Structure 1
Amino acid sequence: MRFALYFTPPADHPLVGRAASWLGRDAFGGETRAIPEARANVTESARRYGFHATLKAPFRLHEGESVEALEAALDRFARETAPVTIPVLALKQLGRFFALVPDEQPAELTAFAARVVEAFEPFRAPLSAAEIAKRSPETLPRPERDNLLRWGYPYVMDAFQFHMTLTDKIAPEESDAMRAELEREFASFIGKPLAVDHLALFVEPEPGAPFTVQKLLRLEGRA
């Protein structure tokens, strides 16, 4: 079993509904929805992980820690932590996949993500040699390799980029058509602000299983 700390709006937020319709699965409860086969083929990984932005990447619990202790820490963190607003949400292609990202990432958002990584590090079991090798650390820039070894994930701290994934890798010749389709599907959200005001505990019950939301808490701290 693995856990992850992600941002997602609540289940009744219009963006969550739109993303579930696009991906073919709602991470709140795991309901699946029929989508065209061509889209299913290019959203397989995104569908399994559920619509989210990664803050603390999937991890196994450290020996001696418990789900109850993790949830209690999550409760405390949410009470003490202020929400952040993304002024303008944009659709961008990151490498070969598409995601919703801040048009310009606020420093407050990067700092918030770093706090999540640090606060919940005691609950993370060390990566196995196989888990490290899977990330091909020899191909990573030095800062990202150091992050992998220190925090269990390369893209944290200064390497963090907030993104809510909408596709898997898209072939270059299909990118323009995919961008146009996504711009139509998410037109109501692109160019608008988005409040990062919740923190979710996602769970993968067994290797390869879909991730689902186990707990969602509103951030209640004051800036």
Structure 2
Amino acid sequence: MTASHSGTRFAVYFVPPAEHPFYQVGSRLLGRDLRANQLVSLPDFLRPEWQASAAPYGLHLTVVEGFFTDAEALPAIEAEARACRACLSPGADLMLRGGHLDVWDDGAVWVQRYTPTPAFSVLHTLLLARLAPFVTASPFAVRSRPAFEEARMRLLHTPRGLDTFEPHFTLIEPYGGGDPAGLRQHLQPLLAPFETLEVGTLALCIKPAGETNWQIQAEF
């Protein structure tokens, strides 16, 4: 799915607070604490190779994709993201509801998926549109797509989001085990308490050129 580019990448993520139980559960599942920028021990029912794709990101929900940019543009990107967040009213309902375990890509990707409130969808759309001019390259490969996705690629550098926005936390990728039913039995009790989440802050995250792991640059 990714194009062959190098350089600095940026994204806007929702990263739950370090003390939030969901952040602690998700970080253990991934084997990496994004906030502390360190590895943590995986539970016994998971193997490191099943987290090869997901662990470098840490627990996060994507609001704006991990695009490529010039490192010198990061201060302007942060300022623009803060300005977008400031446009929402103080009473804006930034909640994620209906959290549930979902499985994508023929069983390879396991996620906790949510339904965004209208205000959260508005913020996603505003950020995606306003940050698009800073993008120097897209992580999405050039290939034949439906017409509306082609239009998104030309304007916003991503085929995803907008009215098909699917907020989610990737928990396992790529799952290579042969017991999905057993995996579900392990995950369901861990995730059941987190049907709703409040989005208090967003994070500008970066992956500098040559680095493997994402890190938090700023929160707002």
Residues 105/67 of structure 1: CA separation in 2 closer, same or farther (3 Å cut): closer
* TM-score normalized by the length of structure 1: 0.81
Shift of 1:2: 1.0
| Partner residue in 2 for 1:49 | 57
| Alignment partner of 2:110 out of 98, 109, 113 | 98
Distance of 1:100 and 1:3 partners within structure 2: 23
Shift of 1:33: 0.9
| Partner residue in 2 for 1:164 | 169
CA contact (8 A) 1:10 1:216 kept: no
CA contact (8 A) 1:200 1:214 kept: yes
Identity of aligned residues (%): 24
Residues 78/105 of structure 1: CA separation in 2 closer, same or farther (3 Å cut): closer
Shift of 1:37: 8.3
Give 5+ residue unaligned stretches, structure 2.
1-7
| Partner residue in 1 for 2:25 | 18
| Partner residue in 2 for 1:221 | none
Question: Mean Cα displacement is larger for which, 73-82 or 200-209?
Answer: 73-82
| Alignment partner of 2:199 out of 173, 179, 196 | 196
Distance of 1:68 and 1:182 partners within structure 2: 39
Residues 78/12 of structure 1: CA separation in 2 closer, same or farther (3 Å cut): farther
Distance of 2:94 and 2:116 partners within structure 1: 11
Query: Map of 1:179-194 to 2, 5 A cutoff?
Result: 179-189=184-194, 192-194=195-197
CA root-mean-square deviation = 2.4
Shift of 1:62: 5.3
| Partner residue in 2 for 1:206 | 209
Distance of 1:100 and 1:215 partners within structure 2: 24
| Alignment partner of 1:147 out of 142, 145, 152 | 152
Residues 28/106 of structure 1: CA separation in 2 closer, same or farther (3 Å cut): same
Distance of 1:202 and 1:62 partners within structure 2: 14
DSSP 3-state at the match of 2:127: helix
| Partner residue in 2 for 1:125 | 136
CA contact (8 A) 1:29 1:212 kept: no
Shift of 1:193: 1.6
CA contact (8 A) 1:83 1:198 kept: no
- 1 or 2, which has the higher helix percentage? 1
Task: Extract structure 1 runs of 4+ deviating beyond 4 A.
Answer: none
Q: Deviations over 1:156-197 (max 9, x none)?
A: 2123211111011335843222222111222322xx321123
Residues 25/55 of structure 1: CA separation in 2 closer, same or farther (3 Å cut): same
Q: How many residue pairs are counted as aligned between the two chains? A: 207
| Partner residue in 1 for 2:3 | none
Distance of 1:86 and 1:157 partners within structure 2: 16
Give 5+ residue unaligned stretches, structure 1.
218-223
* TM-score normalized by the length of structure 2: 0.82
1:70 aligns with 2:72: no
Q: Deviations over 1:71-128 (max 9, x none)?
A: 22222223333451123311111333111112x444443333211101212222244x
